């Protein structure tokens, strides 16, 4: 049987990064093991391109990455021998866009706010200081989080009011996904669609690949359903989200980067 190369897709917040401190230090042994094995680690996050570039630098990561809940795939120049068709280029990367433009999402959030009467506030309504306070970021990191292209995080709705927001979004051809801190208004994109597209690029370059995905939040579900080996990382309280009908699901023993480390080392040891 032909041996397949592994490609690992991973969420950041609450998964590879600690929910409270944003540290990835506990995951370092697994990060080093992936690098030693030559296994690509693809960051798949709700963060913006600018934010993710910062984390790629900290992690020493040179692989493609997925931003804004699947809004776009970013491929470093020259990464694939036969480059795919790109929708644009930014900061040394080719961009494959799946989401609706940010200006369109901003107008839609205004319409949803008016229709529901809820005090919805997106990042576009917040100062950099407020984003920093809500996320626990330094001001510089909050400014990077505000540079959005395909996804609008928002607050101002509880569980009882969320169905009405979802209905109004769907009437506009959009959808709402939920992460660890915010709900997100997106259009035409999710993490799963981007993961499948990037997996196809890897397969065209490397031959058959076996994909692993790690996440902790509802917005990670499309990614986990798009990979061969889905891994659910525990939330800070030790619980996990409900993912019915997902075959082969692996549940990490701990939350955040500790759980990420144990799951990745276990998969490498067992050959996934």
> Active-site residue numbers?
11
| SS3 per residue for the chain | CCCCEEEEEECCECCCECCCCCCCHHHHHHHHHHHHHCCCEEEECCCCHHHHHHHHHHHCCCCCEEECCCCEEEEECCCCCCCCCCCEEECCEEEEECCCCHHHHHHHHHHHHHHHCCCCEEHHHCCHHHHHHHHCCCHHHHHHHCCCCCCEEEECCCCCCHHHHHHHHHHCCCEEEECCCCEEEECCCCHHHHHHHHHHHHHHHHCCEEEEEEECCHHHHHHHHHCCEEEEEECCCCCCCCCCCCCCCEEEEEEHHHHHHHHHHHHHHHCC
The C-alpha atoms of residue 197 and residue 270 are separated, in whole angstroms, by 27
Number of residues that this document lists for the chain: 272
């Amino acid at each position: 049987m032909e041996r397949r190369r592994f490609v690992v897709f991973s969420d950041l917040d609450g998964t590879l990064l600690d929910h409270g401190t944003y540290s990835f230090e506990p995951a370092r042994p697994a990060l080093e093991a992936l690098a030693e094995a030559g296994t690509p680690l693809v960051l798949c996050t709700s963060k913006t391109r600018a934010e993710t570039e910062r984390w790629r630098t900290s992690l020493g990561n040179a692989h493609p990455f997925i931003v804004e809940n699947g809004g776009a795939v970013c491929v470093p120049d020259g990464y694939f021998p036969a480059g795919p068709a790109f929708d644009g280029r930014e900061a040394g990367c080719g961009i494959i866009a799946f989401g609706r433009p940010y200006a369109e999402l901003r107008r839609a959030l205004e319409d949803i706010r008016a229709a529901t009467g809820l005090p919805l506030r997106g990042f576009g309504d917040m100062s950099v200081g407020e984003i920093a306070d809500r996320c626990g970021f330094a001001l510089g990191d909050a400014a990077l989080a505000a540079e959005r292209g395909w996804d609008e995080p928002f607050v101002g709705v509880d569980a009882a009011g969320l169905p009405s927001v979802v209905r109004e979004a769907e009437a506009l051809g959009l959808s709402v996904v939920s992460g660890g801190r915010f709900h997100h208004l997106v259009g035409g994109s999710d993490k799963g669609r981007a993961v499948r597209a990037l997996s196809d690029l890897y397969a065209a370059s490397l031959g058959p690949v076996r994909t692993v995905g790690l996440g902790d939040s509802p917005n990670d579900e499309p990614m986990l359903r798009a990979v061969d080996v889905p891994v659910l990382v525990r939330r800070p309280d030790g619980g996990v989200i409900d993912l019915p009908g997902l075959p082969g699901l692996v549940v990490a023993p701990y939350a955040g980067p500790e759980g990420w480390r144990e799951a990745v080392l276990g998969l490498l040891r067992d050959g996934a």
